[in-house]
Amino acid sequence: MKKILLTLVLAQLLFSCSNTKTEENQTDNQETVEVETGSAEPGQGSNDSGVKPTFDINSIQVTSQEVGDFPFFTLPKGLQNQNKPLQKNFDVCFFPIDGIMTPFEGKLYKANVVAEKGEEFSKRYFEKSLEDYLTGIGAVKVYEGEITSDEYKRYNKQDPNKGDEGDMGYSGEQIKFFVLRTKDKGNIYVQFSANNASGKLNILQEEAMTQTITKVTSEEIANDLLAKGKSILHINFDTDKATLKADGSEVVQEIVKALTKNPELRIAINGYTDNSGAKDHNQTLSENRALTVKNEIIKSGISADRLTSKGFGQDSPIANNDTEDGKAQNRRVELVKL
């Protein structure tokens, strides 16, 4: 009886050890994947994919090297921009943080790069030149690879610069992404890709937007008219229409207040557009917008004999139409004292 009992105890111990070992092996073979969800912290980008990238900008050491002025470096010898680079004082660009295209804002440069005439483009030369230079000034490579087709579909709808120079971030495109932290120029993001015929380069100097919009007041309008004989206003209309937006109507009411407080004032309302679209269309659009402002002022009780309206289309620009900022300046209404 004792022999049988001892045999049963030994068998139970052996079975228990076998199960423990099996559980340990199963635990060793399991792969743990941690996914954090929620919005990214300020300064670390953000996206709507539901995934919070694990990238932490503070983990990258600030470089002691001088990096020059934006866009910070030239192209390698023998290479050139295929067309005029896209360059904006403030915009957004998407970079692959852990394979998630994440938006960062600031000063933006995007270019397509090709070989100079008579030269052959070398993918290896382009990529190694950039990698070696960036590493040499203290930049850190934080991603190399391609994004999925699902990720491209998700973020592509949000990217306002898709289709422009240096357009990057397609599924299957191998992207190399570097981050450079500096004392005086802030955080600098550089990504590039290449094939056997050409390369793409994106550079962004991260910075917050400086708000430049201020409320137009009747006092400012009156002061400009009485002191300078002219007041230049940027009145918002619906795109390609003569219908006032809500904030455009607010500006018109400030004109009404200025005219009410200064009953001796008579003004010409002159409309202008940028050079987008056909010239004849722009002429008509500017006339209709000036007339809309005039009619709104009359509806508010100002006598029609104190007002005239005229459109000048895209003529007499006050800024360069080659940039979006310049075009915005040229889309204006000028009040001229009669």
pLDDT in tens, 126-170: 999 999 999 999 999 999 999 999 999 999 988 988 888 999 999
Model pTM score: 0.63
pLDDT in tens, 197-231: 999 999 999 999 988 877 899 999 999 999 999 99
pLDDT of residue 118: 92
Share of the chain above pLDDT 90, in %: 75
Same domain, 201 and 87: yes
In degrees and rounded to multiples of 5, residue 143 shows phi and psi of -160, 140
Q: Are residues 202 and 68 in the same domain?
A: yes
199 and 224 in a single domain? The answer is no
The boundaries of the domain holding residue 264 are: 218-337
**What would the mean pLDDT of 92-101 be, rounded to a whole number?**
95
The amino acid sitting at 296 is E
CB 302 within 8 A of CB 266: no
Q: In the structure, what pLDDT confidence band is assigned to residue 325 with cuts at 50, 70 and 90?
A: confident
pLDDT, position 257: 97
E strands present in the chain:
79-81, 86-97, 100-115, 140-145, 175-181, 187-194, 199-206, 230-233, 267-272, 307-311, 332-337
Domain assignment of residue 71, yes or no: yes
For residues 180 and 257, membership in a common domain is answered with no
* Domain shared by 180 and 262, yes or no: no
CATH number for 232? 3.30.1330.60
Residues 131 and 78 in one domain: yes
Q: What does DSSP assign to residue 28?
A: H
Are residues 222 and 201 both part of a single domain? Answer: no
Please give the mean pLDDT across all residues of the chain: 87
Residue 140 and residue 194 share a domain? yes
Do 244 and 329 share a domain, yes or no? yes
pLDDT value at residue 52: 56
Asked if residue 235 and residue 194 are part of one domain, the reply reads: no
- Residue for token pair 């390698």: 76
Residue where one domain finishes, among candidates 206, 226, 258: 206
pLDDT at residue 2 greater than cutoff 60: no
Q: How far apart are CA 125 and CA 76, in angstroms?
A: 8
Whether residue 104 is contained in a domain is answered as yes
246 and 192 in a single domain? The answer is: no
Total number of domains constituting the chain: 2
- Residue 271: strand pairing partners: 311, 333
